[in-house]
Amino acid sequence: MPCHRARVRIAVITESFLPHVDGVTNTVCRVLEHLRDRQHEAMVIAPAPAPAARRAAARSHAGAPVLWAPSAPLPGYPAFRFAVPWPGLPAALREFNPDIVHLAAPAGLGAQAVFAARRLGIPSIAVYQTDIAAFAARYGLATAERTIWHWLAIVHRLAARTLAPSWDAVDTLLSQGVQRVARWSRGVDLERFHPAHRDDELRRRLAPNGEVLVGYVGRLAREKRVELLGAVSDIPNTRLVVVGDGPSRPTLARSMPNAAFLGFRAGQELSAAVASLDVFVHTGIHETFCQAAQEAKASGVPVVAPAAGGLLDVVEHGRTGLHYTPGDPAALRAQVAALTDDLPRRVAMGAAARESVAGCGWSAIGDELLGHYRDVLGTGGGAGRFGRLRHPGPVIEGRSGRRGGRRDGWDARKRPGTGNDDGWSA
């Protein structure tokens, strides 16, 4: 563990936090745990939970106190709360007196925080995680997409640096005029998600006749395009397993009566559910990364996912899983069937998937984040308090600075199909 001479204080401003569980919450929790382990000091400002959930909600995580900002339910998705304008935010930052402000998926609350931090002379780092504009379009607000991006670009340009989880996300931000963008991937708990958690008893319950288990893990909501799961719900000799909850669950349950809906799972139950799958499938095309797919890989499960967004980074086609044409149910079904019919290929891909995340533990990813903090603070702003850290990687100053080509050889002109043995057609 690096030796630190003094603590650095980080204010984490997040649009989503416990008890609501999603990718943003998961990443923030892992960041807080890493800051604690590296002996830094943090505090969290997040939208307040629903009144009925506040009594049971924790007011701290990993030693970091949680301050609730006034919030309201998101129309059409009341389980998610968004922050409303809060005049008390600048005073809260001033009282904590952070060295740096960490903006997790900044939107409304993050915008308030970045303006307040600028006025207080505190540098900030924005972590891009959610394609809010695309989600708005999915919910019938396509006319607002340009306005949302205009606002988000302003927020990100006010930050000293923006971190994006995938090269597709980096490109998206650069195309919107955001400057000073770096790629910061996501970690995975390599012990919690491990092939050793495969549960034979669970498999017998889910597949009493030895069916191949095809599974989805994630939020059941419109933006995830979960209706596409119907394309793989009746493949012969397979059973679809759905782990998660959300507003789309009742509709899905009616349309896929033979699927096993396990609901929300956490801890050991989630570890066992993921590791017990034979094929993991994802349907969303607006993922900036896709943590669930990475957890499946860590569990030794090959992934079938759309050739879009962050999943282009997460899934290496032909090695750790297969890509399919985004939004095409026939292509999705064909790629899943290609794996369910081929046990040796599944086993080989599962082993490669586990191997591919060997260096992606949260400790390494967390130290990379600390490297970005250190760089933003500079030599005169307490950077020495981070100890020895590896360089976090290049910062792209603008569109012209984007390196040519993807590191994995992805060719955007190619789309996965069913025309040949490995699912690709030129």
Q: Clarify whether residues 348 and 368 are in a common domain.
A: no
388 is a domain residue:
yes
> Max alpha carbon distance in the chain (Å)?
65
Locus of tokens 């708990």: 189
Helix (H, G, I), strand (E, B) or coil at 45: strand
pLDDT of residue 133: 76
411 is a domain residue:
no
Rounded to the nearest 5°, which phi and psi values hold at 9? -100, 125
79 is a domain residue:
yes
Count of CB atoms within 10 A of residue 65's CB? 12
Q: How is residue 109 written in tokens?
A: 């609350």
pLDDT of residue 78: 82
Query: Do residues 288 and 170 touch, judged by C-beta distance below 8 A?
Result: no
| Nearest-angstrom CA–CA distance, 274 and 352 | 16
Bridge partners (DSSP) of residue 73 are 81
Q: Clarify whether residues 237 and 95 are in a common domain.
A: no
pLDDT of residue 387: 63
How confident is the prediction for the chain on average, in pLDDT?
89
> Confidence class of residue 98 from pLDDT cuts 50, 70 and 90?
very high
125 is a domain residue:
yes
- Report the CATH number at residue 262: 3.40.50.2000
Among 2-16, 220-234, 378-392, the range scoring the smallest mean pLDDT is: 378-392
Q: How is residue 295 written in tokens?
A: 């957890």
State mean pLDDT over 321-339.
99
pLDDT of residue 371: 95
Q: Determine the structural domain holding residue 290 and report its residue range.
A: 195-358
pLDDT digits (tens, 9 = 90+) for 378-423: 844 555 566 656 667 788 876 544 443 333 333 332 333 333 333 3
User: Of residues 352 and 131, which shows the higher confidence score?
Assistant: 352
For 244-355, list the strands marked E by DSSP. 260-263, 279-281, 303-306, 321-324
Q: Clarify whether residues 223 and 289 are in a common domain.
A: yes
Q: How is residue 22 written in tokens?
A: 């999603």
134 is a domain residue:
yes
pLDDT of residue 207: 98
Helix (H, G, I), strand (E, B) or coil at 101: strand
244 is a domain residue:
yes
Helix (H, G, I), strand (E, B) or coil at 214: strand
Q: How is residue 89 written in tokens?
A: 């935010």
Q: Clarify whether residues 67 and 136 are in a common domain.
A: yes
State mean pLDDT over 350-375.
97
| Nearest-angstrom CA–CA distance, 349 and 347 | 6
Q: Clarify whether residues 319 and 383 are in a common domain.
A: no
Count of CB atoms within 10 A of residue 383's CB? 17
pLDDT of residue 391: 62
Bridge partners (DSSP) of residue 162 are 126, 181
Asked if residue 204 has pLDDT above 80, the reply is: yes
pLDDT digits (tens, 9 = 90+) for 16-41: 999 998 999 999 999 999 999 999 99
Q: Clarify whether residues 325 and 285 are in a common domain.
A: yes
| Nearest-angstrom CA–CA distance, 57 and 308 | 35
Q: Clarify whether residues 101 and 230 are in a common domain.
A: no
Percent of the chain with pLDDT over 70: 87
Query: Do residues 416 and 335 touch, judged by C-beta distance below 8 A?
Result: yes
Q: Clarify whether residues 28 and 44 are in a common domain.
A: yes
Single pTM value for the model: 0.87
For 128-178, list the strands marked E by DSSP. 161-164
pLDDT digits (tens, 9 = 90+) for 149-158: 999 999 999 9
Q: Length of the chain, please?
A: 426
Q: How is residue 401 written in tokens?
A: 């600075």
Helix (H, G, I), strand (E, B) or coil at 113: helix
Q: Clarify whether residues 222 and 166 are in a common domain.
A: no
412 is a domain residue:
no
Rounded to the nearest 5°, which phi and psi values hold at 117? -65, -40
| Nearest-angstrom CA–CA distance, 109 and 101 | 12
State mean pLDDT over 165-192.
96
User: What total of structural domains would you count in the chain?
Assistant: 2
| Nearest-angstrom CA–CA distance, 171 and 95 | 37
Q: How far is CA 195 from CA 95, 298, 302, 320, in A?
A: 46, 7, 12, 14
> Confidence class of residue 139 from pLDDT cuts 50, 70 and 90?
low
| Nearest-angstrom CA–CA distance, 273 and 244 | 11
Q: Clarify whether residues 348 and 369 are in a common domain.
A: no
422 is a domain residue:
no
pLDDT of residue 77: 74
Among 44-58, 122-136, 186-200, the range scoring the smallest mean pLDDT is: 122-136
> Confidence class of residue 79 from pLDDT cuts 50, 70 and 90?
confident
Q: Clarify whether residues 290 and 207 are in a common domain.
A: yes
Helix (H, G, I), strand (E, B) or coil at 112: helix
State mean pLDDT over 292-317.
98
Q: Which residues contact 312 (CB under 8 A, 6 or more apart)?
A: 166, 167, 168, 323, 406, 408, 410
pLDDT of residue 143: 75
DSSP 236: T
Asked if residue 142 has pLDDT above 70, the reply is: no
Q: Clarify whether residues 303 and 275 are in a common domain.
A: yes
pLDDT of residue 145: 82
